[in-house]
Amino acid sequence: MIPEYLLRALLGGVMVSVLLGMLSPLINMKGLAFLTHATFHSLLFGAVLGMILGLIFSNFSLVLWVALIITIFVVILIALLENRGFSSDTAIGVIASFIAGSTVLAFGVLYKVMASKPYFALSQSIVSYLTGELFLITLNDLIFLVLGGALIFFVMLAFYRDFLYVSFDAEGLETYSGNARFYLTLLYVLVGATGALIVRTVGLITLQVVAVLPGTIAMMLSNDLRKILGISLGLTLLVQVLSIVLAYLTDIPPSGIATIMLGLVYGFLVLRR
């Protein structure tokens, strides 16, 4: 009989696979790999700020909500700067520098708040936030992941064609009365919201890799958009399920195994050329 925690991990892994499998091709087509790096910083800053507030108010559910709010605010700010004429790299670099500095300051405040509290187990939560805790998600965590993931999935599905147009020809979309700025901002929000939703299962350290490589590999294997999406979804699902099974057998964090597997596939394709 399958242990309950393993079943929860598998279900969580399936939802993560669906979200990343659909989002990864868009990240590659629009050139948003650097945005995922900025998302990493904002998630870390939001998590640390949430831990500070969680300690103060004795409510650790604030961690996820604060991380989500901070990340969405950051990606919207990046989109606004890009819409004002800044290049994507410049907008991300400017915002990411402030977020990185704020994260260092927030860690200093966190350590002081932790020292004033009798509860110090939060340091383990910081480590699990960085590496992922797929086997430790509760039923409530899984329900939140599924409901939030379903919302993101249907929004992505409804606007996927518009996101493709923005990625390839934003000016052409504006010419045909399409609101390219709105679609760009919405795409950035989805990237940030997805990162905040799955970060506890994937881990901050490996988030950028698992968000970028599936789409990169799919684009190396095909030029057809439907095939790219299918390969990205199938590869992400296969890697997630295999990493969970191997992690269950070896007691190694599944996020690390998934990253290595994707790296091996990508390396093989590069060397084969």
Tokens 């405040």 belong to residue: 109
Q: Are the CB atoms for 219 and 228 separated by under 8 Å?
A: yes
pLDDT for 267 equals 93
pLDDT for 20 equals 93
What are the sequence ranges of the domains in the chain? 4-272
Task: Determine the Cα–Cα distance for residues 55 and 146; give it in Å rounded to an integer.
Answer: 27
pLDDT for 209 equals 87
pLDDT for 21 equals 93
Question: Along the 273 residues of the chain, how does pLDDT read in single tens digits?
Answer: 678 888 999 999 999 999 999 999 998 888 877 777 788 788 889 888 988 888 888 777 788 889 899 999 999 998 888 888 888 788 888 888 889 889 899 988 988 887 776 655 555 566 677 777 788 888 888 999 999 999 999 999 999 988 888 777 666 666 665 677 888 889 989 999 998 899 888 888 888 888 899 999 999 999 998 899 999 999 999 999 999 999 998 888 888 899 999 999 999 999 987
Which residues are CB-contacts of 272 (< 8 A; sequence separation ≥ 6)? none
Task: Determine the Cα–Cα distance for residues 115 and 93; give it in Å rounded to an integer.
Answer: 33
Overall pTM > 0.85: yes
Between 1.10.3470.10, 3.20.20.70, 3.50.50.60, 3.10.110.10, what CATH number should domain 4-272 receive?
Answer: 1.10.3470.10
pLDDT for 220 equals 93
Task: Determine the Cα–Cα distance for residues 255 and 200; give it in Å rounded to an integer.
Answer: 10
